[in-house]
Amino acid sequence: MAMQIRRIVTGHNTGGKAVVAIDDVLEFGGSRPGTGARVIWTSTGFPVDNSGLIDAKDGASSTTLANGTVFRIVEFGPGNAPRMHRTDSIDYAVVMSGEIDMELDDGATVHIKQGDVLVQRGTIHNWVNRGVEPCRIAFILIDATPVEAGGQVLHATG
């Protein structure tokens, strides 16, 4: 069975009242073995324009959307194919189910599980599911200025 997720999008009717504009089921796709993804919504410009009823699920063909946002759900199957990458965005991630390891380019690995949240600040990283169950993560990517080599380092406090 293909991976699916129900998506509900609100909007306004001609009288200005809140309505459910979209209530559908989206199927996941992908070309990387063991990994499926689906864009849920995109936007461009800040502040975001909430008028109109155009379905914005197909607004991003790459990882990040210039001057915009991408809301994407990714499911990493056990033994998924690795892919080191960097996004030109600040990414908010919420692990919805399962467990996964995030590898960084300095060799560090962080184990993340259901209920954990992550703020990914344009770093080079990889997702590896070494478990036996799929891991589903909700990502909200917001366009950001990329960090250049020798850029400012965030120091932990406390």
pLDDT at 15 over 60: yes
The answer as to whether 124 is a domain residue is: yes
Q: What is the pLDDT of residue 2?
A: 65
Name the pTM for this structure: 0.87
pLDDT at 68 over 60: yes
The answer as to whether 32 is a domain residue is: yes
Q: What is the pLDDT of residue 53?
A: 74
Beta strands at 135-143 and 68-76: parallel, antiparallel or unpaired: antiparallel
CB-facing half-sphere around the CA of 118: CA atoms within 13 A: 24
Q: What percent of the chain has pLDDT over 90?
A: 60
The answer as to whether 112 is a domain residue is: yes
- Rounded CA separation 77/123 (Å): 23
Instruction: Report which secondary-structure segment, H or E, holds 28.
Output: none
- Domain hosting residue 74, numbered range: 28-143
Instruction: Give the chain's domain count.
Output: 1
**Which of the pair, 153 or 87, is modelled with greater confidence?**
87
Mean pLDDT for the stretch of residues 17-45 = 90
**Which of the pair, 57 or 94, is modelled with greater confidence?**
94
CATH number at residue 83: 2.60.120.10
The answer as to whether 54 is a domain residue is: yes
